[in-house]
Amino acid sequence: MDALLALGATLVAVRLSAELTRRFRRQGRPELLAWGAALGAYGVAAGALAWSSAAGWSEPAFRVYYLGGALLTAPLLGAGSLLLIGRRWAAPLALAYTGLAIGVALAVPLEGSIAGTDVPDAQDVLDIWPARVLAIAGNSLGTLVVVVVALATIRRRPVGNTLILAGVGVAALGSGLAGLGVGALAPILAVAAVLLYAGFVLPRGSTRDSRRASSPRP
């Protein structure tokens, strides 16, 4: 059952990532590509959960999970928020960080053995430097950027930004509940992906426009 839940979360995140990429190709908005990459990283982490639930945790599965969930998702979300407000330098910075994160995830040595079906705790298998420091910094800064930009622009997009903030909150809840196992974590990943996607694509002023359209004219 855990493997099926994680597989479902993977399909949801990957499908929404592909939809954001399609919108980027049609609209040319770089923030959509960054957000699509973030949900794609979310899908990678969920896929690693499905893999480990079916076959047991291994070093490759943990590296994939840590790369997608701990190192990439929040920083790419933050890059999308910066691009949304016109900070074009966020794109090359995000590319450089992604390359660094991939290198760290592939090369950092792991301590101890990884086995079983329980989600490994990073502090049990990784030294604080460089992987955990990079994850803490990336998650903290990425989440901070998303929250600050969403709050600063919430008057322009009240519903969309509220959904983004809710998605970030649910994702943070998932990180805190990882110790409860894949069965608890996978549905939270799927819900967070859906909330974030809805917040990203909701048109600016859609609620106001719909109210105007539905109100009777004198």
Give 202-206's long-range contacts (Cβ < 8 A, gap of 24+). Answer: 202/157, 202/159, 202/160, 202/163, 203/160, 204/156, 204/157, 204/160, 205/156, 205/157, 206/159, 206/160
What was the pLDDT predicted at 208? 43
Q: What is the dihedral of CA 167, 60, 180, 4, to 10 degrees?
A: 80
Q: For residues 169 and 177, what is the distance between their CA atoms, to the nearest angstrom?
A: 12
In the block, tokens 């900070």 appear at 87
Domain ranges of the chain: 2-205
What is the reported pTM?
0.90
Tens-level pLDDT at each residue, the chain (218 residues): 888 999 999 999 999 999 999 999 999 999 999 999 999 999 999 999 999 999 999 999 999 999 999 999 999 999 999 999 999 999 999 999 999 999 999 999 998 788 888 888 898 899 999 999 999 999 999 999 999 999 999 999 999 999 999 999 998 887 766 666 777 788 899 999 999 999 999 876 544 433 443 344 34
User: DSSP for 188-217?
Assistant: HHHHHHHHHHHHHHSPTTHHHHHHHHHSPP
Q: For residues 36 and 169, what is the distance between their CA atoms, to the nearest angstrom?
A: 19
